[in-house]
Amino acid sequence: MDLRQLRYFVTVVEEANFTRAAARLHLAQPGVSAQIRQLERELGQPLLDRSGRAVTLTEVGEAVLPYARAALAAAEGVRRTVDEFTGLLRGQVRVGLVSGAATHEFDVAAVLADFHDAHPDVEISLTEDTSQRMLAALHRGELDIALLGIADDQPPPGTSAQIVVDEPLVAAVAPGDPLLGHPDRTSVPLTALRDRPLISLPRGTGLRGVLDGACAAAGFQPRIAFEAAAPYLLAQLAGRGLGVAVLPRLPADMASALGLRTLPITDPPLRGRVALTWRTPGPASPAARALLGRLREALA
C-alpha cells in the first residue's frame, strides 16, 4: 500500500466514477483502476462497488475512507512543515477574481507574475467567476484566495477579508434622460429607479446583491433590462439610451467619452465593495499564505 493508491481511491470516491477521477488526476483510466484493484488485493477486501452506474463504497470501503484521507492529510502536513523550515515554496495556489475587478487601479496580473518569477515551483491557477460562486468555492476548499464583491463592510461568515474597493454606486444615464430632471440635480433616490429599465451586473455578483437587497427593502423588484459581466459594457449600453446603468462611480473622463451623466444613488446610499477574501484562519499551504501576503500588500 502506498500514498498514490490511497489518493486514487479517495479521488474515485469523490467523483463516484473512474473516468472522471482519472481526468482529475491527469492519468489514464485503466491505470487508476489497476492501482485500486492492487490495493484491494493487498487488503484482502473490495473497497468499491462497481456494479451500478456510479461507483460506491463497500462497507469495508466506508470504514477505510477516513483513514485514507487522514494519511493523505498527514503526508501533506509533513511536506508543508519541511517547506516552512527550509523556506521552499512549491505546490499550487488557486485564486478567484470577480469579473471586471482587473480594470481597477490595482494590477493583479503583475502581482501574480512577480510571485511566479520569485517562486517558479508554485503553480498558480486563476478563475474568473461571480462572487457568489467563488465564495462557495472558498468554503469548499476549491479556492485559496478570492477577490470578490461583498454586500457590506463585514466579511462573509467563515472568511476574513481586506476591502480593496469601496465606492458609491451611481445611476448612469444618457443626456436628456428623464431621471436627470432639473439640471442642478446631484443625486437620485433609489425609489426613482422603481419603474425604469436597469442595466446591471448579473446575479451572484456583489454589486447585484447590493442592488437587489436595497430594492427589496424599499418594497419593489428591480426591472433588469440588460445584464453583463463587464462594467464598461454596462456603461456603453446606458450611453446609447437603453436604460439606467447601476455602477460604481465612473472616472470623469470615461463618463464624458461615453456621453454619460452619473448621479449618486441615495435614500439609502448604496456602495460597491470588492474584498480580498480567504477562509478563516487562513490558507493552509505556505505558498498560498505567501501569495496572500503579497496581494494584501499590493492591494492595501
70 with 111, same domain: the answer is no
100 with 80, same domain: the answer is no
23 with 73, same domain: the answer is yes
Domain count for the chain? 3
Domain CATH number, residue 72 = 1.10.10.10
* pLDDT tens-digit series, residues 53-112: 899 999 999 999 999 999 998 998 887 777 766 666 778 899 999 876 655 566 888 899
Which of residues 69, 86, 103 is at a domain's end?
A: 86
The CA distance from 132 to 123, in Å, is 25
pLDDT by residue, tens only, the chain of 300 residues = 899 999 999 999 999 999 999 998 989 999 999 999 999 999 999 999 999 889 999 999 999 999 999 999 899 888 777 776 666 677 889 999 987 665 556 688 889 999 999 888 889 999 988 899 999 999 988 999 999 999 888 898 999 999 998 999 999 999 989 988 766 778 999 999 999 999 999 998 889 999 999 999 999 999 999 999 888 899 999 999 999 999 988 888 888 899 999 999 998 999 989 999 999 988 878 889 999 999 999 887
pTM value > 0.75: no
253 with 281, same domain: the answer is no
Question: How would you classify the pairing of strands 244-248 and 198-200?
Answer: parallel
Query: What is the chain's mean pLDDT, rounded?
Result: 90
pLDDT at 87: 63
Identity of the amino acid at 198: L
Q: What are phi and psi of 26, to 5 degrees?
A: 60, 45
pLDDT at 102: 53
Identity of the amino acid at 240: R
Domain CATH number, residue 233 = 3.40.190.290
Contacts of 99 (CB under 8 A, 6+ apart): 128, 129, 130, 201, 205, 229, 230
Domain CATH number, residue 116 = 3.40.190.10
Burial class of 13 by CB neighbour count within 10 A (0 to 12, 13 to 18, 19+)? buried
281 with 159, same domain: the answer is yes
Q: At which residue does the C-alpha cell 512577480 appear?
A: 114
56 with 116, same domain: the answer is no
118 with 80, same domain: the answer is no
pLDDT at 61: 95
Secondary element (H or E) of residue 298? helix 286-298
170 with 266, same domain: the answer is yes
97: left (phi over 0), alpha (psi -120 to 50) or beta: beta
63 near 25, Cβ under 8 Å?
no
pLDDT at 250: 84
Contacts of 268 (CB under 8 A, 6+ apart): 190, 214, 217
Which of residues 86, 111, 142 is at a domain's end?
A: 86
The residue segments making up the domain with residue 33 are 3-86
142 with 14, same domain: the answer is no
82 with 177, same domain: the answer is no
Which of residues 32, 53, 86 is at a domain's end?
A: 86
The CA distance from 130 to 113, in Å, is 23
pLDDT at 44: 95
59 with 121, same domain: the answer is no
pLDDT at 282: 85
221 with 132, same domain: the answer is no
Q: What are phi and psi of 245, to 5 degrees?
A: -90, 130
pLDDT at 82: 78
